[in-house]
Structure 1
Amino acid sequence: MAGNSDPLTPRAKIAVTAGKAVAAASRAAGRGSGSVIGGRVALKLDPDLLARLAQNLDVVLVSATNGKTTTTRLIAEALRAAGPVVSNALGANMPAGITSALAGGSEARYGVIEVDEKYLAGVARDTDPKCIALLNLSRDQLDRAAETRMLAENWREGLSGSKAVIVANADDPLVVWAASSSPNVIWVAAGQMWKDDAWSCPSCGGVMQRPGDDWFCGECGFRRPTPSWALSGDHVLDPHGSAWPIHLQLPGRANKANAASSAAVAAVFGVPPQVALERMYQVQAVAGRYDVVQFEGRDLRLLLAKNPAGWLETFSLIDPPPTPVILSVNARGADGTDTSWLWDVDYTRLTGHPICVIGDRRLDLAVRLEVANQQFQVCDNLDQAVQKCPPGRIEVIANYTAFQDLRRRVGN
């Protein structure tokens, strides 16, 4: 698929140049990376630009509610063993951001693209991917994305008959149902900690039975497929039954699961598990996530968690009590304005941790913690919260725009 012929028409070249100029102006004005506005301008000038840019690439698409950005980074790192990669590594994952990213990768052989769940079918149509990784689906941005079953249905319809190899999580019934319309699926046992969006069968609405790690619908027979790849402790098991050690600088079980899915994707492109997993060790932090920064004489570890499934996974990787925890929640456009999801999070897992609460919606969070019988203090800002914590490590967990606010404040 990759070749040297220039896929860009004169119009497309003008669109790319204009998009880059607008992005540069946006950066110069201090308005962020400029990738989204640059991509919008480029697509206005040439609506087919995304398809043209993807034409000479072997494309991987990565979509999920949680873990997209990290998994995209891990796959990109693994595929660099086989050739140059272009990727939207900073997470601008709608068509404009994706177009911007691909416009910067004229020498690349592979395109590793994170895609917002709602846009997956359209981006797959435009980019003719060789492989699509589907990791999980759970409730998120309730005011914007409606319910998860509708997203699964969009995926199922959009991927029906796709030529791409689908690498899908066998432990998430919604993902399995979505992927099952495709003729070529590689199943990965990546686990599923958050199960509250998959108690009813996506196929018939019946009640899902969940004995141990298995699942099936007692009414229609829809059941967990047999995986060919699996996460097993600190190892990835490949289809031949060989166990490959996972060495990551990223913390937590969820990132081991991301590594297992990434190894399965890399294998589709001929990169062996050992090589892929060794290369993944290079990834230290992803757009600021997991970074440890010095601030006011303390070590703050910055953790992003945007929805109940993400908060559950994050609680499982923080240092044990009495490590202080700062929680920050906003409800701006990019977060979703509905904070009712806070009631779906099990905050009793924080028992024993001193907790400080900040962010635009700190009072919503305070009410939730009060009901969960947690000890906490409400603070006006990060500086005040940090001052209330002793020297040493602090775990800071924030949702999307709250996380961006934190990064700006600590200069990260």
Structure 2
Amino acid sequence: MSGNSDPLSPRAKLAVTAGRAVAAASRAAGRGSGSVIGGRVALKLDPDLLARLAQHLDVILVSATNGKTTTTRLIAEALRAAGPVVSNALGANMPAGITSALAGGSDARYAVIEVDEKYLAGVARDTDPKAIALLNLSRDQLDRAAETRMLAEHWREGLAGSKSVVIANADDPLVVWAASSSPNVVWVAAGQMWKDDAWSCPSCGGVMQRPGDDWYCGECGFRRPTPSWALSGDHVLDPHGSAWPIHLQLPGRANKANAASSAAVAAVFGVPPQVALERMYQVQAVAGRYDVVQFMERDLRLLLAKNPAGWLETFSLIDPPPTPVILSVNARGADGTDTSWLWDVDYTRLSGHPIFVIGDRKLDLAVRLEVANQTFQVCENLDQAVQIAPPGRIEVIANYTAFQDLRRRVGN
């Protein structure tokens, strides 16, 4: 495949057209956005389509266990200061969904693409990205996802010798180990609240020492690199030591960390931190997350939490007790069918909140809450939970398919 500016080949054009037609038919049938099925059809017709679509774009890939959809959105907003952007903003983050997104961006200059952790190496090979943002790695979907160190190894091998600028979280030892095979890394001190997947050294298996915010392996000397960007309270510190205020409509420390990483990515493309951070303020909600919706004459705030690290971050966002909290957990294909991860979540942090439990696996969650000594009620559905919840805004926390169910129910 040539790197010149040839328009798409007839075969590639046919693939794009067919993909769009299938996606439109899927939407018309009420089966979602159609981006995945459209992309699958397009790739069947032209297996090299992703590479062809990417060749005229500056591609930025974003991968992590948590925060990739939000960070992708923040980077896309920041880069719009420098030119038109195409992005898979709805989170279809495997090759088919990514192909669909790029097929819709013929006049774009930048492609900001969220990538599922397992597909990062392959998508990077196909799209020749200018930048790759790596935020965190933690346990997720126990029945499907490889153990976290294996994922880190997969990243490390896939990025070895890469020409991309890798923007990586210096506070996550697994991410640092994965990124260290890359010749060009920008380290960001973005923090790491969840540490339970990084107690042993990914390099040699030794025990990690964690004095303060630092970390190192006492056995092989693998240690936290010196960051050039850092999140410090409500500011981003840039490599020159200047502090830039973060103003976000999205809540919580995790989103400030996402903004710090996004500012570092934007700087690679010449967008100054002040401009990047100002543009990020536009983002109010990301694919329904953080939205406050009216339902049955009540305000509900919708929060997505898919794994133990995500639940920990989400608990730090919710209004203090006695704010009512509805928890919904499913275990369908997209969630992972193994719910044993519920035992890794510290539900004692919900003490004092009236708790209502719904979802396909409400009984699994009920057992977990019982052991955590929490007071809760199991309800048939969202309507019943909202009906009996005490006054005040309700925090609704759900895992992936449960979150989609909720959005459909509240018409969001």
For normalisation by structure 2, the TM-score amounts to 0.99
Residue 11 and residue 369 in structure 1: after superposition, are their counterparts in 2 closer, same or farther (change >3 A)?
same
Residue 50 and residue 272 in structure 1: after superposition, are their counterparts in 2 closer, same or farther (change >3 A)?
same
Is the Cα contact below 8 Å between 1:7 and 1:52 reproduced in 2?
no
Q: Secondary structure at the match of 1:262?
A: helix
CA distance in 2, matches of 1:52, 1:352: 55
CA distance in 1, matches of 2:283, 2:4: 30
Q: Secondary structure at the match of 1:81?
A: coil
Q: Secondary structure at the match of 1:144?
A: coil
Is the Cα contact below 8 Å between 1:159 and 1:179 reproduced in 2?
yes
RMSD: 1.3
Partner of 1:39: 39
Instruction: Report the more deviating stretch, 382-391 or 152-161.
Output: 382-391
Deviation at 1:388, TM superposition (A): 1.0
CA distance in 2, matches of 1:372, 1:408: 31
Q: Within 5 A, what are the aligned runs for 1:133-144?
A: 133-144=133-144
> Per-residue displacement from partner, 1:312-354 (whole Å, max 9, x unpaired)?
0000010000000000000000000000000000000000000
Is the Cα contact below 8 Å between 1:321 and 1:353 reproduced in 2?
yes
CA distance in 2, matches of 1:88, 1:353: 36
Partner of 1:85: 85
CA distance in 2, matches of 1:174, 1:53: 31
CA distance in 2, matches of 1:2, 1:247: 43
Is the Cα contact below 8 Å between 2:252 and 2:317 reproduced in 1?
yes
Partner of 1:127: 127
CA distance in 2, matches of 1:317, 1:205: 34
Q: Secondary structure at the match of 2:404?
A: helix
> Per-residue displacement from partner, 1:223-253 (whole Å, max 9, x unpaired)?
0000000000000000000000000000000
Q: Within 5 A, what are the aligned runs for 1:137-176?
A: 137-176=137-176
CA distance in 2, matches of 1:313, 1:304: 10
Is the Cα contact below 8 Å between 2:248 and 2:283 reproduced in 1?
yes
Deviation at 1:392, TM superposition (A): 2.5
Residue 2 and residue 186 in structure 1: after superposition, are their counterparts in 2 closer, same or farther (change >3 A)?
farther
Q: Within 5 A, what are the aligned runs for 1:194-273?
A: 194-273=194-273
> Per-residue displacement from partner, 1:353-385 (whole Å, max 9, x unpaired)?
000000000000000000000010000100000
> Per-residue displacement from partner, 1:294-319 (whole Å, max 9, x unpaired)?
01111000000000000000000100
Deviation at 1:146, TM superposition (A): 2.2
Is the Cα contact below 8 Å between 1:2 and 1:57 reproduced in 2?
no
Is the Cα contact below 8 Å between 1:170 and 1:188 reproduced in 2?
yes
CA distance in 2, matches of 1:215, 1:99: 39
- The count of residues paired between Structure 1 and Structure 2 equals 412
Q: Secondary structure at the match of 1:143?
A: coil
Deviation at 1:2, TM superposition (A): 14
CA distance in 2, matches of 1:7, 1:254: 41
Q: Within 5 A, what are the aligned runs for 1:55-94?
A: 55-94=55-94
Q: Secondary structure at the match of 2:236?
A: strand
Residue 52 and residue 154 in structure 1: after superposition, are their counterparts in 2 closer, same or farther (change >3 A)?
same
Is the Cα contact below 8 Å between 1:297 and 1:391 reproduced in 2?
no
Is the Cα contact below 8 Å between 1:7 and 1:55 reproduced in 2?
no
Is the Cα contact below 8 Å between 1:2 and 1:56 reproduced in 2?
no
Is the Cα contact below 8 Å between 1:229 and 1:237 reproduced in 2?
yes
Partner of 1:322: 322
Deviation at 1:6, TM superposition (A): 4.0
CA distance in 2, matches of 1:6, 1:279: 33
CA distance in 1, matches of 2:390, 2:140: 34
Is the Cα contact below 8 Å between 1:74 and 1:283 reproduced in 2?
yes
Deviation at 1:3, TM superposition (A): 10
> Per-residue displacement from partner, 1:195-221 (whole Å, max 9, x unpaired)?
000000000000000011000000000
> Per-residue displacement from partner, 1:51-79 (whole Å, max 9, x unpaired)?
00000000000000000000000000000
Is the Cα contact below 8 Å between 2:3 and 2:55 reproduced in 1?
no
> Per-residue displacement from partner, 1:124-149 (whole Å, max 9, x unpaired)?
00000000000000000010012100
Is the Cα contact below 8 Å between 2:75 and 2:112 reproduced in 1?
yes
Partner of 1:305: 305
Deviation at 1:4, TM superposition (A): 9.4
User: Which stretches in structure 2 are left out of the alignment for 5+ residues?
Assistant: none
TM superposition outliers: structure 1 runs of 4+ over 2 Å: 1-7
> Per-residue displacement from partner, 1:257-297 (whole Å, max 9, x unpaired)?
00000000000000000000000000000000000000111
Is the Cα contact below 8 Å between 1:7 and 1:53 reproduced in 2?
no
CA distance in 1, matches of 2:91, 2:295: 25
CA distance in 2, matches of 1:371, 1:267: 48
Q: Secondary structure at the match of 1:230?
A: strand
